Amino acid sequence: MSVNTKMEQPSPTEALPDILMRVVSELHDVAYLIERIEPQLLDLGGGADLLNSPESMKVMQGIDLAVQKTRGLAEFIDTITSEISNDWMVDVATALSLVKLSEMQHALAGAMRHGHSQPLNKAAGDFDFF
């Protein structure tokens, strides 16, 4: 994770459907990242012992709910976006300046990004200073 202090300036206005589809992509990415937590917790907590604890079970259910809600929001936005005219233009400069994660800021600005923001091939212990 890194914080961006400089960013390429997006065009003054962009089509709202394009912006919303970038948000949809980010929401799917968030769901994926949350989903990756669950197996790690099971490994750390000993699996069966973790699932036998009522409090731990609530945490696991909360993780599942967070994934479902994130994907639900993505699907909702994706569906309503198809009804929005490409003539609807929005200036995203101020909104982008409020996003502190540089990778997300670039993705929402329309910079090309392939794959997830936290690739699986990153070595354990790798981190970015911010």
The pair of structure tokens assigned to 32 is 């994926």
Tens-level pLDDT at each residue, the chain (130 residues): 555 555 555 457 899 999 999 999 999 999 999 999 888 877 776 666 666 778 878 888 899 999 999 999 999 999 999 999 999 999 999 999 999 999 999 999 987 655 555 544 444 455 455 4
In three-state secondary structure terms, 125 is coil
Contacts of 53 (CB under 8 A, 6+ apart): none
Task: Count the residues in the chain.
Answer: 130
Q: Is residue 47 part of a domain?
A: yes
On whether residue 5 sits in a domain, the answer given is no
Asked whether residue 128 is assigned to any structural domain, the reply reads no
| 124 domain-assigned | no
Number of domains in the chain: 1
Domain span at residue 70 reads 14-109
